[in-house]
């Protein structure tokens, strides 16, 4: 009976029609009225903290390059600083920056972690607020309310000749940029991504922040003996900038924090010099 009730031409039609392939992938989902599932196509990462191919290339080779770069910079800069010439101090700083910058260039030549270089207007707010807060903390810890303003007085009572070029611009702009890209991109991210899968994001972040901030203090210690107060303050600056990068996934908030922290010191130097106030020496970051 079922055969008798069926369409008599259906069997012939089926025999003459070539068998269709069952749709698969995107076609299957469209044929069934469903959208393609996102999991079938690998999405591009937008945040390095979640992993991805780009950030995984910041591995032990990048960390090794960072150690080699800072080592060559410190040793080479120290050797240049011993030259008996007026330009030795500036040249020694440039050599150090070249060592740090070489490690940064090596890391970014391998890959660019997703979202790291993205800029948001709120980064300015965080940078200004945290930079001013850190400078106020430095003044409170060092007892600056009872000390004189820092100054860089020349014999004529004004700022030394070339001070803006040899001191202000390097300390206020170049040093924060180079140091943040070295410690808060290369060192921080390399340590974080090496540990994230084995110990988890939180533990990896804490470890990376401590390594980054500790290395920041040690680098400044190579320039001369640090007091306990200076060490605490430098660690606070390094730790704060590391947290900014870990919490936002972006570097510019940390760079601006460091810039504001250093620039506020330079402002105090200008005020102290032009006001003919005796010198003091809070630490730069």
Number of Cβ within a 10 Å radius of residue 55: 24
DSSP 162-192: THIIIIIHIIIIIHHHHHHHIIIIIIHHHHH
Query: Residue 153's pLDDT is what?
Result: 61
Answer whether 269's CB lies under 8 Å from 152's CB.
yes
Look up the pTM and report it.
0.79
Residue 52 has pLDDT above 50, yes or no: yes
Answer whether 242's CB lies under 8 Å from 213's CB.
yes
Grouping H, G, I as helix, E, B as strand and the rest as coil, residue 154 is coil
Domain residue ranges in the chain:
117-274
Secondary structure (H, E, C), the chain: CHHHHCCCCHHHHHHHCCCCCCCCHHHHHHHCCCCCCHHHCCCCCCCHHHCCHHHHCCCHHHHHHHHHHHHHHHHHHHHHHCCCCCCHHHHHHHHHHHHHHHHHHHHHHHCCCCCCCCCCCHHHHHHHHHHHHHHHHHHHHHCHHHCCCCCCCCCCCCCCCCHHHHHHHHHHHHHHHHHHHHHHHHHHHHHHHHHHHHHCHHHHHHHHHHHHHHHHHHHHHCCCCCCHHHHHHHHHHHHHHHHHHHHHCCCHHHHHHHHHHHHHHHHHHHHHHHCCCCCCCCCCC
Residue 123 and residue 186: Cα distance in Å, rounded? 20
In this prediction, residue 278 has a pLDDT band, given cuts at 50, 70 and 90, of very low
Query: Residue 151's pLDDT is what?
Result: 65
Query: Residue 110's pLDDT is what?
Result: 96
Residue 211 and residue 183: Cα distance in Å, rounded? 9
Q: How many CA atoms lie within 13 A of 131 on its CB side?
A: 24
In this prediction, residue 9 has a pLDDT band, given cuts at 50, 70 and 90, of very low
Query: Residue 141's pLDDT is what?
Result: 86
- pLDDT (tens digit per residue) in 116-173: 999 999 999 999 999 999 999 998 888 766 666 676 765 455 677 788 888 899 999 9
Residue 265 and residue 152: Cα distance in Å, rounded? 12
Query: Residue 148's pLDDT is what?
Result: 67
What token pair was written down for 110? 């391998």
What token pair was written down for 101? 């910058």
Mean pLDDT, all residues of the chain: 84
Residue 113 and residue 161: Cα distance in Å, rounded? 42
């Amino acid at each position: 009976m079922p055969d008798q009730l069926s369409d008599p031409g259906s069997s012939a039609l089926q025999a003459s029609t070539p068998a269709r392939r069952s749709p698969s992938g995107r076609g299957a989902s469209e044929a069934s009225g469903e959208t393609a599932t996102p999991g079938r196509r690998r999405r591009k990462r937008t945040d390095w903290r979640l992993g991805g191919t780009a950030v995984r290339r910041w591995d032990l080779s990048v960390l090794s390059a960072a150690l080699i770069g800072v080592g060559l910079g410190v040793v080479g800069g120290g050797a240049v600083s011993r030259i008996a010439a007026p330009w030795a101090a500036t040249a020694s700083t440039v050599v150090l920056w070249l060592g740090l910058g070489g490690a940064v260039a090596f890391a970014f030549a391998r890959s660019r972690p997703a979202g790291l270089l993205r800029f948001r207007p709120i980064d300015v707010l965080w940078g200004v607020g945290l930079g001013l807060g850190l400078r106020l903390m430095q003044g409170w810890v060092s007892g600056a309310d009872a000390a004189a303003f820092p100054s860089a007085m020349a014999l004529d009572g004004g700022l030394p000749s070339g001070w803006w070029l040899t001191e202000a611009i390097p300390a206020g702009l170049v040093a924060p940029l180079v140091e943040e890209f070295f410690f808060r991109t290369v060192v921080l991210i390399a340590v974080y991504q090496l540990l994230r899968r084995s110990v988890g994001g939180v533990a990896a972040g804490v470890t990376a922040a401590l390594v980054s901030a500790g290395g920041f203090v040690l680098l400044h210690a190579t320039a001369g003996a640090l007091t306990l107060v200076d060490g605490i303050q430098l660690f606070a600056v390094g730790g704060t900038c590391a947290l900014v990068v870990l919490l936002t996934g972006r570097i510019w908030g940390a760079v601006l924090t460091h810039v504001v922290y250093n620039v506020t010191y330079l402002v105090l130097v200008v005020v102290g010099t032009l006001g003919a106030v005796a010198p003091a020496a809070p630490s730069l970051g």
